[in-house]
Structure 1
C-alpha cells in the first residue's frame, strides 16, 4: 500500500508529451476533411487528467512550444486541475500535434502525428531539477517518453529511480509505440529495464507477449514479478483484466459496453482506475473492477479522455456496475 508514515504535499507526479489533438468533424480520409476541433492528447496527460478529476493532487512535468498550441495545452490542463509548475515553454521547438479521423463503428481511427523534434522530445534530466519527489505519494510513467528521444529516455530512468529511492510507489504502463523506437530490440530492452523500477506494471496481453516472450498472462506476470514488480496487471480487452502478486492472482471480467465509439484512451482510462484504486487503498479485485469500468466508459465517447469520470460519477458507476 502507499506509504503513510511521511508527510506528502501532493499525490502524483506524471511526465511526458502533451499534444494538441485535431479531431475531424466529419467522417472520411484526413485529406478530404476541412474542419477539425482541437483537444488535448497524450497517454501521460490522459492519466493525469483522470486522476485529477477523481480529486488527486497531480503535478505534470513536460515541455511545450512557445506557441499557441503550447498555451492552449497548458490552459486546458490547468483547467482540469493539474499543477503545471514543471512545464517548460520551449521557444526553439514546436508543440507536437495529432490529426485524427472520425472513428466509424468503433474501429480504431487513423491518426497522423506531427511530433518529430517537438518541444517534449527535448525533455531531459535538467527539467526535473526542481521536482520535489520526496513530498509526493506516487509516480506514474509510460513507455512513451523514453521512445521520443535519448534525453527523454534518460529522464524516465532518472525519475523512476529517484522515486524509488524517495519511497514513492511507482506504476508503469509500457504503452508500446514501435514506430518511435530505433528497433524492436531497443524498445524491449529499455521498457523491461524501466518496468524493473516499478511497483505496478500494467501491460496489455499483446504487449506483454512481445516484451517478455511469454504467452500466458500468468507467465507474463511472473516475468515482471521476477524483475522486482510487486503487482502486475494485464489488460485483456473486452474480456477484462488479470492481476498477479507474490501470493495472489485473479481475473475480473470486462464491463459491458452498449456501443464502442472510439477505442483511443481506453488503456489510459484503465490505468486511471488502477492507480486511483491503489491510492484509495482498495484490494486488487476492486482495482481491476474500477479499471475495467473506466476503460469501458472511455470507449463510448469521441476523444482521448472525455469519458474519464469525476469522483461522483465513479461512485455511481461502481455502485451500479454500469460503465455509462
Structure 2
C-alpha cells in the first residue's frame, strides 16, 4: 500500500498500517431529564476510531485507542466495546482511583445538540502524568499514524500535555505522521491564548489537519478561509480539509485547492459525531489510496448518514456503502 499525506517521499508498507488514536472515551447518556435514558459510550476521537475501524478491512489497518480508564464496570465495558469494533486496547492505562468521564446529550428540533459534561476527575486527564505513562508515550513511535484532537490536548494536565507533545516530536522524527482535528472547546481551556499556543505547537507537527471552520474562526479570528489556509501553509501543514457543516468542504494540498460539495440531508435528527465521522471516512479513504477529493466525498457520505440517527455511533447495519471498489481508479498519492 503506497500512502503519503504530505509532500514527502512515498512509503511502501508491507504490513498493516498501524494507527493510534489518542483521547478520551466517556459514558454517553441521552434522553430527557426525568425520563428514560439510553446509555452508550462516545467521545470525539473514540467516535472516529469506531468509524475508521468499520471502514477499513481488518488486516489492512491495525487500530489502537490510547487513553486512561478506571477499573470499574463502566471502564471494563467500554474497553470490551472497542475490542468488539476491532479497536485494540494495548495502550490503555488503568488508574485504579479514577472513573471515566460522563456526558449527557440533548438535541433541539433541528438536530443541533447540547452537551452537559462531568469530566473534571476523569482518568483520561491523567493518562500521560508520571512515570507510569512512559509506556504509552514511548509507544507512539511504533505507529505509522497518530490521530488526536483539540479535545485530546485540552483535557490533559499541563504536565501530560507537554509530555505528549514532546513524544510526538520524537515519533515524527522517526517517520510517524500526525493527523489533527482542531475541535476547539473554549470551556476546556483556561483562556484562548493558552489554547492558541498549544495548537500552534501541535500544528508544526501536523501532516493532515481536519479543521472545522467555526472553531478556528473563534480561536484564531481568521477573517476568511484564505487567511486560514495561508496560516496553515506557514505552519508547514501539507494537507488541510476544511469542514463547513452542511456547506461544501474546502481542501488544500500539494495538488492545489478545491471544493467538494456536501450531501443534502432532508431531515437532520442529531448532529453528534458528524465531524468525527467525516474525519474517519476521509482518513480511511486516504489510507486506502484515495486522493483528497475522493476522501472528502467519503467524509460527506458518512456524515450525512450519521446525522440521521441519534447518538454518536450509528448501528453497524446503517453504515453506508462507500464504493471501495472505485478506489482502484483513484490516483495514489
Query: Do the structures match in fold with TM over 0.5?
Result: yes
- The aligned residue for residue 121 of structure 2 is 117
1:74 equivalent in alignment to 2:74: no
- The aligned residue for residue 258 of structure 2 is 250
- The aligned residue for residue 301 of structure 2 is 293
How has the CA–CA distance of structure 1 residues 45 and 251 changed in structure 2, closer, same or farther, with 3 Å as cutoff?
A: same
- The aligned residue for residue 213 of structure 1 is 221
How has the CA–CA distance of structure 1 residues 236 and 109 changed in structure 2, closer, same or farther, with 3 Å as cutoff?
A: closer
- The aligned residue for residue 129 of structure 1 is 135
CA distance in 2, matches of 1:309, 1:165: 40
How has the CA–CA distance of structure 1 residues 248 and 181 changed in structure 2, closer, same or farther, with 3 Å as cutoff?
A: same
CA distance in 2, matches of 1:311, 1:8: 27
CA distance in 1, matches of 2:12, 2:190: 43
CA contact (8 A) 2:249 2:296 kept: yes
Secondary structure of 1:313's aligned partner: coil
CA distance in 2, matches of 1:6, 1:290: 23
CA contact (8 A) 2:305 2:319 kept: no
**1:68: how far off?**
1.6
1:87 equivalent in alignment to 2:92: yes
CA distance in 2, matches of 1:279, 1:98: 31
How has the CA–CA distance of structure 1 residues 53 and 6 changed in structure 2, closer, same or farther, with 3 Å as cutoff?
A: closer
Any residues of structure 2 matched to 1:83-232 within 5 Å, and which? 83-101=88-106, 103-124=107-128, 126-129=132-135, 132-148=139-155, 149-232=157-240
**TM-score calculated relative to the size of structure 2:** 0.86
Secondary structure of 1:85's aligned partner: coil
CA contact (8 A) 2:70 2:94 kept: yes
Secondary structure of 1:144's aligned partner: helix
CA distance in 2, matches of 1:151, 1:288: 36
Return 5+ residue gaps in structure 1 as ranges: 320-324
- The aligned residue for residue 331 of structure 2 is none
Q: Provide Cα deviations, 1:20-67, integer angstroms capped at 9, x if missing partner.
A: 11111xxx4x3xx23212111110101111111112320111111111
- The aligned residue for residue 44 of structure 1 is 45
CA distance in 2, matches of 1:17, 1:123: 9
CA contact (8 A) 1:53 1:310 kept: no
CA contact (8 A) 2:192 2:219 kept: no
**1:213: how far off?**
2.9
Return 5+ residue gaps in structure 2 as ranges: 5-9, 328-333
**1:104: how far off?**
3.7
**1:169: how far off?**
2.2
Secondary structure of 1:238's aligned partner: coil
Secondary structure of 2:79's aligned partner: helix
CA distance in 2, matches of 1:307, 1:293: 16
CA distance in 2, matches of 1:245, 1:168: 19
Return the match for 1:59 from 58, 64, 70. 64
Aligned length: 312
CA contact (8 A) 1:209 1:215 kept: yes
